[in-house]
Amino acid sequence: MTHPAFPLSPVVVQSLGWALLHFVWQGASVAAALSVLMVCCRKASTRYALGVGALVLLVAAPLITFLLLLPRPGPHSTGPDAPLGAASVAWVRATVARAPAAPAALERQLQSDGLLWLVELWFAGVALFSLRATGGLLLIERLKHRGVRPVSSEVRERCQALQRRLGIDRAVRFCETRLVAAPAVIGLIRPVVLLPVTALTGLSEQQLEAVIAHELAHIRRLDAFVNLFQVAAETLLFYHPAVWWVSRRIRAERENCCDDEAIRACGNAVEYARALTLIEERRGEPVLAMGINNAPLAARVLRLLGLQEIKGGLRAAGFASGLLCLASALVAGNAFWGVAKVSFGSPAPTRQPSVVQRVHGVVARAALNKQIMRANAEAAVSPGQASGKETDSGRQKAGEESSSGTGQGAKKGYIEQMRAAGLKDFTVDQIIGLKIQGVTPEYVHQMHALGLSLDAEELIAMKVQGVTPEYAGAMRDLKFHPDAETLVGMRVQGVTPEYVRGMRAAGLKANEEEIVGMKVQGVTPEYVSAMRGLGIQPDADTLVGMHVQGVTPEYIKDMRAVGLKLSADQLVAMRVQGVTPEYVKALQAAGLKNLDSDDYVAAKVQGITPEFVDKARQHGFANLTLEKLIQLKNAGVL
């Protein structure tokens, strides 16, 4: 079970792969149980608590399964995980010699290869969804610091009065902005309530108080922390629909809970329902921000007005369906658990995992058979028992030493050679893995000469990934001092000495982690040179962000051609929101001139198009500012 980009222990990979597969039925069981319980409960706070508890179970289930599947040898075990002493040498040789005769080795290898690809796909998915979460955090920081200003003193006093009424002692900022279409709360430690200009101008005082009370209820309930946990769960368990369903239910019930608190604080459900319908339902806010429109609007309005009833027949059908799904998932889980137990070997309680099972993932089948045959041939000659004949002495390596007084060569065993090379501590599994992967004493000597103090696992990982002494030496010559893990990462991602020299020639000095990050995202020396030729001097992180978001030299030149000289951050923000040079030209031609980058972003977010500007003029509105156009757009009067 090897792959050029995956140096994890085979036992860990196998346990993790089975844990991910088990979560298929575990997640279905939890979701089915939650659906049954939610049918029985009508109070929003109770349903919310059940949803959060279900999400905690969903996160805990694969972790507990992974820990249960990890093999645990006894403290006095003499099996594969026991430290390797002189008495174990014969046992290792005998085990290697028996390996080709294992009847299920090929079948288990095929199974392990499948688990490896499953784990790799899972890691790739986690990385992809992590970008989603990171993008949300970056957008939140932008919303917090750009295009916002404190609300008027009158609105602030009203907000603080509501804050005292709800018993919130934390410091809360109240700001107005044009970059969001609906009220929202952002920030964990220092929360900020963002109020769009349209809400401040288009709602009555009573409606505005209800909307603000809803956002303050989020802060009082510490919903931001639960929301962050939801994002983490969605990132780690992205592949299971149950996680997304449970998370959607939590968000819907959270909004219902805050609606209830807003009504208790303001006392008028009808006015609050009108406020909801007046706020245009937009979903442009990042997932880490909690807005008043983060749940289906129609369902919430019906619930507030007491018009949403679940008929008894539908409730019974939902209850029965949930029970049926729960029973099916448990039956499937029982069968699945049996398959997983078989994959780890015989179910006998006193079983010790075989060596082939424990290391079958270190190599592919062809390499395993080839190396085992070579190990069998070498095992025929043990230390001190070499023949007196000199037929093969000309082909022996540096492991030969003379017999006392006879002049006959006695070849050192592989274990003795590795110990002489400076590798002292290793287990049976590790020495077999080292041998199979072709880690030679010379390889160990050369790595130690470069100042790398490596253990057996690190040597195996570096050999598997093709980290040669020449590669490590070239990186040292470039003034890098990476450890084994960093060297493997650089080699896996294709970071070559030429790539590093090209980056430095382009004027960028980056450390090992930054170099790997840029290589992963496809940042080339040519891209860096082009940016610096345009007068932009970004650091490594900014370069990665620009390249990921598609900020090309051509994009920058086109923006400058329409009169915009932008910083790296402004370029990324405009590219993220889809502000193109053509869009800027069109707005300028429509009469909206002297706008900065934030104005163009706000116009794009709010849907201000040249056609909308022309329509406003056709209705007799002339010389409109961007702010007035946004108000017209959100009011829907055109």
Residues 8-31: tens digit of each pLDDT: 677 788 888 889 999 998 999 999
User: Is 493 domain-assigned?
Assistant: no
Query: Quick check: 423 pLDDT over 90?
Result: no
Alpha helices, DSSP H, located in 344-478:
355-359, 365-379, 414-420, 428-436, 441-449, 456-464, 469-477
pLDDT tens for 68-102 read 887 765 444 444 444 444 444 454 444 444 444 33
- Domains contained in the chain, number: 2
Instruction: Round to whole Å and give the CA distance between 195 and 229.
Output: 25
User: Is 16 domain-assigned?
Assistant: no
Query: Quick check: 476 pLDDT over 80?
Result: yes
Q: For residues 255 and 263, is the Cβ–Cβ distance under 8 A?
A: no
**Structure-token match 């919303």, residue found:** 143
Q: Under DSSP, is residue 454 helix (H, G, I), strand (E, B) or coil?
A: coil
**pLDDT score for 557:** 93
What's the gap between Cα 569 and its chain centre? 24
**Structure-token match 């792959």, residue found:** 3
Average pLDDT of span 164-192: 85
**pLDDT score for 348:** 37
Instruction: Round to whole Å and give the CA distance between 399 and 441.
Output: 9
What is the percent of the chain where pLDDT is above 90?
18
User: Is 111 domain-assigned?
Assistant: no
**pLDDT score for 442:** 92
Domain CATH code at residue 245: 3.30.2010.10
What is the percent of the chain where pLDDT is above 70?
70
Q: Which of 402, 465, 469 is nearest to 440 (CA)?
A: 469
Q: For residues 176 and 201, is the Cβ–Cβ distance under 8 A?
A: no
Instruction: Round to whole Å and give the CA distance between 444 and 564.
Output: 57
User: Is 47 domain-assigned?
Assistant: no
Instruction: Round to whole Å and give the CA distance between 198 and 203.
Output: 8
Bridging pattern class, strands 173-177 and 192-196: parallel
Instruction: Round to whole Å and give the CA distance between 1 and 359.
Output: 8
**pLDDT score for 82:** 45
User: Is 634 domain-assigned?
Assistant: yes
User: Is 594 domain-assigned?
Assistant: yes
Q: How confident is the model at residue 627 (pLDDT cuts 50, 70, 90)?
A: confident
Q: Which residue has the higher pLDDT, 55 or 355?
A: 55
**pLDDT score for 345:** 46
pLDDT tens for 153-170 read 888 888 888 888 888 888
Average pLDDT of span 379-388: 39
Burial 85-97 (b: 16+ CB within 10 A, else e): eeebbebbbebbe
Residue where a domain stops, chosen among 273, 299, 325: 299
Instruction: Round to whole Å and give the CA distance between 119 and 62.
Output: 13
Average pLDDT of span 171-191: 84
Alpha-carbon dihedral 283, 285, 289, 290, rounded to 10 degrees: -30
Residue where a domain stops, chosen among 268, 283, 299: 299
Q: What are the beta bridge partners of residue 402?
A: 409
Average pLDDT of span 300-329: 56
Alpha helices, DSSP H, located in 146-176:
153-165
Instruction: List, as own/partner pairs, every contact residues 186-189 make where C-beta atoms lie below 8 angstroms and the sequence separation is at least 24, other chains included.
Output: 186/140, 186/143, 186/144, 186/288, 186/289, 186/290, 187/140, 187/144, 187/224, 188/224, 188/225, 188/228
Q: Which of 196, 174, 215 is nearest to 284 (CA)?
A: 196
Alpha-carbon dihedral 45, 47, 51, 56, rounded to 10 degrees: 60
**pLDDT score for 232:** 93
pLDDT tens for 341-350 read 444 443 433 3
Q: How confident is the model at residue 289 (pLDDT cuts 50, 70, 90)?
A: low
Using the Cα atoms of residue 35, residue 37, residue 41 and residue 43 in order, give the sign of their dihedral.
negative
Instruction: Round to whole Å and give the CA distance between 271 and 214.
Output: 13
Encoded tokens for 611: 């056609």
**pLDDT score for 342:** 46
**pLDDT score for 44:** 87
Q: How confident is the model at residue 440 (pLDDT cuts 50, 70, 90)?
A: very high
Instruction: Round to whole Å and give the CA distance between 69 and 361.
Output: 16
Type and span of the H or E element at 484: helix 484-492
Residue 483 per-residue DSSP state: -
**pLDDT score for 390:** 38
Q: Which residue has the higher pLDDT, 617 or 526?
A: 526
Average pLDDT of span 118-139: 87
User: Is 585 domain-assigned?
Assistant: yes
User: What order do you get walking across the sheet with 184-186 strand by strand?
Assistant: 148-150, 173-177, 192-196, 184-186, 290-291
Q: Under DSSP, is residue 411 helix (H, G, I), strand (E, B) or coil?
A: strand
Instruction: Round to whole Å and give the CA distance between 150 and 147.
Output: 11
Query: Quick check: 613 pLDDT over 70?
Result: yes
**Structure-token match 């955090």, residue found:** 137
Range(s) of the domain holding residue 599 = 549-638
**pLDDT score for 112:** 63
Side-chain half-sphere exposure of 15, counting CA atoms within 13 A: 16
**pLDDT score for 99:** 42
Q: For residues 16 and 70, is the Cβ–Cβ distance under 8 A?
A: no
Query: Quick check: 6 pLDDT over 60?
Result: no
Q: How confident is the model at residue 314 (pLDDT cuts 50, 70, 90)?
A: very low
**3 state SS for 171-192:** CCEEEEECCCCCCEEECCCCCE
**pLDDT score for 226:** 92
pLDDT mean across residues, the chain: 76
Query: Quick check: 366 pLDDT over 50?
Result: no
Query: Quick check: 475 pLDDT over 80?
Result: yes
Residue where a domain stops, chosen among 274, 299, 324: 299
Q: Under DSSP, is residue 169 helix (H, G, I), strand (E, B) or coil?
A: coil
Type of residue at 230: Q
**pLDDT score for 402:** 36
User: Is 323 domain-assigned?
Assistant: no
Instruction: Round to whole Å and give the CA distance between 13 and 7.
Output: 10
**pLDDT score for 615:** 87
Average pLDDT of span 36-51: 88
Residue 99 per-residue DSSP state: G
Type of residue at 121: L
